[in-house]
Amino acid sequence: MKELKLGDNHETAVERADYPPAKVKQILGGETVAVLGYGVQGRGQSLNMRDNGVKVIVGQRKGGKAYDLCLQDGWVPGETLFDPEEAAAKGTVIQYLLSDAGQKDMWAKIKPHLTAGKALYFSHGFSIVYSDQTGVVPPKDVDVI
């Protein structure tokens, strides 16, 4: 870890060296990461984790370019590629990487699968910060990252 001073603020930054691949595999060894959405964030993050030995599944609606790209990238329907709702049910860490509008639209279908002990991960916080407009309010017994 590295201490940073930004003006009057002091922050601790986690560096890549703090979490080498072996440590990440140990931490996530019993987890299934469900990446919902296969746009810029979803594709990059899912492939990175898969290539580094993390158990990953993808939740992407059938049809369209993104689904075809999932198939081209080696995700297998029924094994590592599912509809978003099924992926959310199977995953223990849910990476909610749909567009802002997609997160709002899909929330009612995803929320029932966010059960106690799971983690919900956002790469950007629009839908959760503006929950009064999006309705994205995680259950209290789910960790939010």
Distance between CA atoms of residues 18 and 114, nearest Å: 29
124 an active-site residue? yes
Which of 23, 62, 109, 124 does the annotation list as catalytic? Answer: 124
Query: Active-site residue numbers?
Result: 124
